[in-house]
Amino acid sequence: MALPKIRILATGGTIAGEADPGNDGGRYRAGVRPVTALLAAVPELDGIARLDAEQILALDSKDMGPDGWLCLLSAARRALADAQVDGLVILHGTDTLEESAYFLHLALPAGKPVVLTGAMRPADHPEADGPANLRAAVSLAASAGAADKGVLVVMNAQAHGARDLIKARTTGLDAFEAGQPWATSRPDGRFATLTPSILPRVDILPGYAGAPAMLIDACVADGARGLVLALTGHGSVPKAWEPALLRARTQGVAILRASRCSGPVIRNANADDDGAGWLTAGDLPPPKARVALMLALAAGWDADTLQTRLPGF
Ligand code: SIN
């Protein structure tokens, strides 16, 4: 029986990183090694799947943004629509991996396996973790059990669903956490038919003791169509922010309450969300709530649809 055909899409990251020759302090540059070299370093992949590969981007993922997501989305949709392709593996930097993974989770059709992976150590590290992560990601994408799970992420011999995964630590091979086992993941794909050429700008504003309201006006004046408030505690809006938020709402800017803590922001529980016309993030962390809001605004959801459907993400 023929091995499954897996397409690899490479975007850069530490998995494609190399020591910086201009720096002897242990710094490295992400996204410099081409995908062909990454695959050649793991010859046993040939016994797991038939592979082809595309170098989509070559970034440190701190520089990933909405344009990169759209580029990745169109390559991923093209791959999944190819009847010859059984599954997809995406190589990505770990810093914003959870945002790209969640974006794709919402915007790709359910069905064929889609698995993201990266690495915490660069490719030329003597104990690089990239090859093992790549092997595990290809094995998962080649397995029937990974179909219809939505987007999955493999790191450090563990798989996670894109919705719940976060990078929780700056260092260490165990940098990622997710509450749920991957096998219980459900596909989403609610924006699978949306084909945006741009994504509306949504900014995240941090809540902290004494945070100034002028950041709200500055974001709106600079073109933001939505604001995700990464607030303290269970999503408490500082009194000093209320006039600026009212001004923003009057201009049609979507306001979404989220928390800098983990755990839910409950609608109308400690703010008059219905009265103020604010959205709530539930248990989605601010960066993922932003991704969802960008897609919802791109889809042209009106205020009522946003209020009823967005908290359910
Ligand atoms: C990046 O996110 O591209 C750099 C950091 C990493 O991949 O671990």
User: 5-184 and 202-312: same fold?
Assistant: yes
- What spacing in Å lies between the alpha carbon of 304 and ligand 1's midpoint? 38
**What gap in Å lies between CA 117 and CA 110, rounded to an integer?**
19
> Is 255 in a helix, a strand, or coil?
strand
The CATH code of the domain at 5-184 is 3.40.50.1170
Q: Is 14 in the active site?
A: yes
**What gap in Å lies between CA 130 and CA 31, rounded to an integer?**
12
Instruction: Give how far the C-alpha of residue 57 lies from the chain's centroid of Cα atoms, to the nearest Å.
Output: 16
> Is 153 in a helix, a strand, or coil?
strand
> Is 189 in a helix, a strand, or coil?
coil
The CATH code of the domain at 202-312 is 3.40.50.40
**What gap in Å lies between CA 117 and CA 5, rounded to an integer?**
18
Within 10 angstroms of residue 268's Cβ, the number of other Cβ atoms is: 12
Tokens 């995964």, located at residue: 165
Candidate from 11, 94, 117, 129 with most ligand 1 atoms within 8 A of CB, to mutate: 94
Within 10 angstroms of residue 305's Cβ, the number of other Cβ atoms is: 12
Question: pLDDT of 113-156, one tens digit each?
Answer: 999 999 999 999 999 999 999 999 999 999 999 999 999 999 99
Q: Where are the beta strands (DSSP E) in 146-186?
A: 151-155, 158-161, 166-167, 176-177
Is any ligand 1 atom within 6 A of the Cβ of residue 130?
no
Question: pLDDT of 34-59, one tens digit each?
Answer: 999 999 999 999 999 999 999 999 99
From 11, 14, 96, 117, the catalytic residue: 14
- What spacing in Å lies between the alpha carbon of 61 and ligand 1's midpoint? 6
Report the nearest-CA residue for atom 1 of ligand 1: 93
The pLDDT score that the predictor gives to residue 22 is 80
Domain boundaries, the chain: 5-184, 202-312
Is any ligand 1 atom within 6 A of the Cβ of residue 13?
yes
